[in-house]
Structures are given as structure tokens and as C-alpha cells.
Structure 1
Amino acid sequence: MRIAFLISIWLLSVAAIAAPGDVATLDRSTWPEKLVSPTLFDVASRAEILMFSSVLLASEALDEPAMAQRLGLRTINLESVNRVRQHLWQRLLANYNYAQQSCDQDASFCFLVEDMPTLREQAAKFQVSADSYYIKWAEPSRVFHTQYLDEQLRKAALFPQTSSEVDHFGDYERSGDGMHDRLFLLTFDSAANAAPDNTAWVTEYLRKSNMSGTFFVLGKDIQARLAEQSVSHLQATYSTQCIGVQGWEFRSHSHWQDWQDSVRRSAELVKSKLPENFVPLFRPPDGQRRSDAEGFFKAQGLQVALWDIDAQDGAGKLKGNPSAQRVLTLMLLWRHGVINFNVKQDGVKTALPWLVTQTAPVGIGWEDCQDAFR
């Protein structure tokens, strides 16, 4: 009993130390130019890439104890942190190369970047002068990218003991890394709360906008809806959209004894009732899944669908416009990828239309959900 008590106290202390910091968001009104063309999208993209690169480079000066302290953790998986850092650098270099293709049209934030050493060199000396047209953006952006980097490094520091979307366990797990430049996929999680459920509103908005998204549903939610409405009504709700599964209920699938049954039952239910919408994708709640699950998922014909851009619009986090502004900033930074919204938060009804409107003139594309993760 005494040992169990001491262990429980230790776990509580670790949880307290491991509490995450502020969720990053950036007021886009600090950026002085409206994004009204593909070229101006590139200008803002180059700026965000350089700012994040400078923050990422600075973090490498911290030794392991200092990094653990910064992230609010007792210990960190330094190998995982370094692996994620390396992946971030690779994406930043590729994205800057895309973003600088319009430098002949607008040279703002255009510097000589030919390879990784020159990107790191530019990151080391990057600064926005006090008399710059962009000065009101500079400090808020630096704060945003510092907080966002800490979000990513904290997940990396806990990986794989606490799994998340920050890294993959194998090629059966997919995110938006391989997507074309300026191409994004909208996805919607169900999360744990039962209400409000904005699925009908979101699917109707997407249809009117000639867009599609992938909705990751809980098996028990679909079962409950079928008890109240007909299959044809549910099919009409999801018409032209895609449905993957998040399991039978919203809970970690990394230590749940019945996780395989959770995935299997949900997939069978959706596939049987909504065959036109079903896509063979499983999204782990909060990104938590087992490292040894490859055989199971391949036997089930499923892929694990992760994400690159998190709206952080869950309960107690960002609401509406701040969530949308975070997503837009990350779209400028990563230039392609899978966006993750929470369909059971009312903020999505504000965030999604704002985001679609803001990005309409900038030459991006929205991936058809049936073509994603192929």
C-alpha cells in the first residue's frame, strides 16, 4: 500500500511538472499586408519560415537539463528531440525553396538559401530592423514560434513513451509530409464531448463551398445516431464527404486493452452503414497509439492518419478566430499538410469560413478527401 501510494504521488508530481505551456496563436493583423495573391502568400511564408528557423536554431544551444527545464519535464528523450529537429529543418529548407520561387516578383525576405548550411546561416542572423515595414509583426511572430516550437519539442521529448502526431512508427502512418506545395487537407476530429456536434453544419458548409473533408468518427457516436435517425439521413449528412474512425470511444489507444476491438468495431460499423463515405483510416485520439501495431493495421487494411497542423480548438484551448489565425500561420510555415479541427467545438463555425475566405486569393488548393493518403 505504501509503495502504491508513493508511486501515485510521484505520478501526480510528474503530471504537474509536465503541464503544457500556453498554446501558440498569432494575431494576423500584425502582418501589414493582406494576402491577396500567391506572391504575397510567399512573402509571408518566407517571413514565418525564417522566424521559426531562427527560434529552432537558438534552441539547439540548450543542453539536455536546460531543455528539460524549458519544457517543464524531469527528463527528456534527447534522441527523439534531435530526430524531430532534423525533420523540421528538412521541411523548412524545402519550404523556403518553394517560397523563394517568387522572389523576382517581390524580394521581401529573400536571402541566399541554397542548402542547409545557408539556411542555418540566414536563421542565425535573421532580424527585423526597428524601421522595417514589418516591425509590428516581428515580436508577436517570435513569441508564436517559440511557443509552437516548445509544443513540438515537448511532444518529441515524451515520444515514444507518450505517442503523438510529432513522429511516426512506420510507413503505415501518414500525415501531410508528402503532399504537394500549397495543398491542404481538412480533417475533423470527434473528440470526447458529445455536444455540440457541428457535423451537419460543417458538411453543409463544405458542400456549398465545393470542398470536402475527412471526418474521424467514434463508433459509439454513429451507433447513437443510428438509434435516433435512419441510415439514409446519416448518409445525407455526410454526402460527398469522407469518414475515417477514431475508435469506439475517445480514449488513448496506447494502453487500452481493448484497443483492437475499438478500431475493428468502428471500422466495420462505418463501412457497413456508410460505404460510399468510408475511407480506411484510423486517427488515434490525441495521437496516442501503440508502437507495435503495424501488423494489426495492415491486416485490417487501415492506415494511421496523423496531422501536421493542429487548430488547438479543443475544450479550454483556442476559440474561433484565434484558432483560425493559428492555422493560417502554420499554413504559411509548412505550405502543405493535414489540418485538424475539432467538429465538436462551436469555434469551428467561425474558424473554417474565416480561413477559407482568407486563403481564397493566394493560390492554395484543398485536397479532395478521396485522394488523400494514397
Structure 2
Amino acid sequence: MSRHRELAAACVALAAITAAWAAAVLLPAPAHAAPSASVGPAVVAKADLSLWPEAIDQRAGYDKASRAAILVYVGVLGEMRKLSDADMMAAFSIKSVNRASTDKWLQRELEQATANYRAAAAKCAEGSANKDWTCQATLPPSPQDFSSAAIEWQARVPSASAAWRANLAAFSRAYLGEQMRLAALFPKISSEIDRFGDNEWTGDTLPDGQFLLSFDDGPTPPGGSTDETLRMLAAQQRNAVFFMLGGNLQARASKLGAPALAQAYQGQCVASHGWEHQSHARWDGWQDSVRRTQALLQASFGKDQVMPWFRPPYGQRTADSGAFFTEQGLQVALWNLDSQDWNARVTAADVTDRMVTLMLIKRHGVMLFHDVHAKAFVALPTLFAKVGEAVVWRDCHAGPR
């Protein structure tokens, strides 16, 4: 397919997502505190991992799949960079585009993808390009050159992998559209797409091959999906950071008591998500929300469980909030791998395939799930099995840095 046709396909794909994104990102979404899923974007980036024919549960297989995914992703990224402001306003259904923010994100994403490919190709043997199309003999000197070369290299994708390539390209266009829309709106509407300062983190700086699990919006009442999630993590010998809403925590603590509550989260980490699930960029009481939740966490859990982090609902916070969080001894905890598990149109199988695909492309980061929904505790055991020993699951107590 020619570059012109690739760009046209990208525009068509973006147009199909327009109305759905407007409801899910531009407008305030329903609070995710309820156990039932919310209706989110009609089109979400989804992948079909069954189209990739080889196992990825060992590092060599994981790296090969990662190289392949990154080459396709970077090729699509190169085409998406050509979208004009008018293209983006039409596709994203927004009235203006912060071009500087969008260009900054696109450049950073290209630089990270280039570094990720280099990491995935570190053990490509000399001359292996003749036997493995994902191993390129000579890497271009700059990310921009890599972007152009990736489009050309895709001609080497075996015909037997054509369906996989088409699926991964469609996933890449949809995912890049999700992220570019956030970048186009930033900082007017803040999100995880960018940081306001060094006191904020996303997961982009984790070492290659390392991932940190996180869950938002809990806890549920006793017997709900939070308990299922905790049992699943214990069975899988994994831990995670649970970013709790103070109101939900207070309700659960009133039924269980502090000792039982702390015992339920033994080995896990807890942190603040504010008192209730509303945007902290539009709420006059956001500082009190942070203080109240932090005090309740300290009263409910031991010091080894409470992490000095705050995750803003929707990732939204004020640009000048850094001084307040520093005074409170808190860092703003964002993410860079979004499962979309709150979306009623996304199944547990979709969550698994989406997140494993992002793991192959991103190769490190903080993963966002929600323990108030039932998909993560179903999806994650399958995800763990798929990637096997190929990655490292970071201890939540070590944090993202």
C-alpha cells in the first residue's frame, strides 16, 4: 500500500472513532466507583494475539514479537505524524489543537519506540536479517530515519503474516489516535499524556522489560471484585498498587474494621485516588479530598503499605498543583499502559490482547486496571501465562523509579 493510501486509511480510521472519543475523553465520564462497567468509546484499540504464530513466554520469542510490533507501530506513527490540525480537529471532534503538545508527544513516542526496538534487537545475531525479517542489519542513526525505514521494512513481512500485520496496523492507528487526542487537548484538559513537573511519573522511565501493576477506584464492598482481585494476585504471587477512593475505603472499613482491612491487602501497596471520583482540575475541594484520603489511609494501613503517591481521577489535575503535593510529601502517579477495562464494550479477552500488545510495543511501564470491575482478575492470569518469564513484574514497594 502506498504512503498516500496509508495516510487515507489512517484518516478513515480516526473518523470512525470521533464521536466515541468525544464522549469518553473530552466530556467528564461517569465515576468508575460503581462495580458495573461504564459505556465508553465505541471503538477502542484492540488486537488479536492469536494472529502472531509464535510463543512469547520466553525472552527470545518476546523480543522477536516486540521487534515485529514496533516496526509496524513506528511505520503507522510516521503516517499519523502527517495529519494536519484540520485533520485532527475533524477526526477528534475538537475545536482546536495544541500542536506543540501533539508534536512533543509524537516525537517522544518515536524516540521511545526507537530505543525499544534497539533493546529488542540487542541479541539479533550478525547476518540474522536474512533469516528473521524483524532483525534489521543496520539501524538508521536517528528516530526520524527509523520511522521512514520502518515503513520500507514492512515490505519484508512474510505473506503468511499479512493478517497479523493488518491487525497490528489497525490497532496502532486506533491507539495512536487515542493518545494524539489526549495530546491535542493537553494542558487544557490534563491527562496521563504528559507531566507538569518532576514530581509526576508515568512509568516511561522503568527499565526495559519491567512492569508495575496498578488498580484504581476501589475498594468494593466485602465480597466484591476487589476481593476477587486480591485473591487472584495472591494466587499468582504478584502485587500491585491500589489507588483507593476515600469514600469507598471508609465504607469498607466501617464493615470490616482496620485490622481485617490491612490483612486483606497484605503484601500489596495502597495509595490515594482522592475522596471521590471527580476531576481534581475542576473541583474546588480537591485539596481537602487529598488530605482526607491520605489521613484515612494512614489510619487504616501500616506504614509499609501506604505509598506516598496520589493518582488523580481521569489523570486530571491543575498545572500549578505541584507545590501542594510536594508539601504533602506526595508524588503524582500516572500511567502509560491503559487497559480500558472499565469500558463495557471491552471484554476480558480484549483486555489481555490489548495489554500484551502494548507490552510488546512499550516494553516497560505502569499498567492501569480497575478493581471495581470484574475483567482484570479474569484477564491477568491469561496475560501472566502469555508473557511467562519474558518480563519482570516490579514489586509495588519499589515504585516506578
Shift of residue 341, structure 1, vs aligned partner:
0.6
1:121-177 CA distance string (max 9 Å, x none): 312324256852322201111100000000000000111111110111111111111
Shift of residue 203, structure 1, vs aligned partner:
1.8
121 and 15 in structure 1: CA distance in 2 versus 1, 3 angstrom threshold: closer
Matched, 1:283 2:316: no
Q: Is the 8 A contact 1:196 1:345 kept in 2?
A: no
Q: Which blocks of at least 5 consecutive residues in structure 2 are unaligned?
A: 1-18, 28-40
1:361 and 1:240 mapped to 2: Cα distance?
Answer: 21
SS at 1:134 equivalent: helix
Matched residue count: 361
Report matched runs for 1:1-374 at 5 Å.
22-104=43-125, 107-111=132-136, 112-113=138-139, 114-128=141-155, 132-190=159-217, 197-275=224-302, 276-362=304-390, 364-374=391-401
Structure 2 counterpart of 1:279, which letter?
M
264 and 102 in structure 1: CA distance in 2 versus 1, 3 angstrom threshold: same
- Percent of residue pairs bearing the same amino acid type: 35
TM-score (norm 1): 0.91
Structure 2 counterpart of 1:153, which letter?
M
Q: Is the 8 A contact 1:197 1:343 kept in 2?
A: no
Deviates more, 1:256-265 or 1:29-38: 29-38
Shift of residue 96, structure 1, vs aligned partner:
0.6
Q: Is the 8 A contact 1:192 1:250 kept in 2?
A: no
2:248 and 2:397 mapped to 1: Cα distance?
Answer: 23
1:169-195 CA distance string (max 9 Å, x none): 111111111111100000001179879
SS at 2:215 equivalent: strand
2:257 and 2:220 mapped to 1: Cα distance?
Answer: 23
Deviates more, 1:268-277 or 1:202-211: 202-211
1:146 and 1:261 mapped to 2: Cα distance?
Answer: 40
Deviates more, 1:104-113 or 1:31-40: 104-113
164 and 18 in structure 1: CA distance in 2 versus 1, 3 angstrom threshold: closer
Match of 1:7 in 2: none
Match of 2:12 in 1: none
Q: Is the 8 A contact 1:314 1:345 kept in 2?
A: yes
Structure 1 counterpart of 2:84, which letter?
D
202 and 293 in structure 1: CA distance in 2 versus 1, 3 angstrom threshold: same
Deviates more, 1:339-348 or 1:195-204: 195-204
Structure 1 counterpart of 2:245, which letter?
L
Q: Which blocks of at least 5 consecutive residues in structure 1 are unaligned?
A: 1-11
SS at 1:252 equivalent: coil
Provide the alpha-carbon RMSD of the alignment: 2.3
Shift of residue 33, structure 1, vs aligned partner:
1.2
Q: Is the 8 A contact 2:77 2:147 kept in 1?
A: no
1:94 and 1:328 mapped to 2: Cα distance?
Answer: 19
TM-score (norm 2): 0.85
SS at 1:226 equivalent: helix
1:207 and 1:191 mapped to 2: Cα distance?
Answer: 17
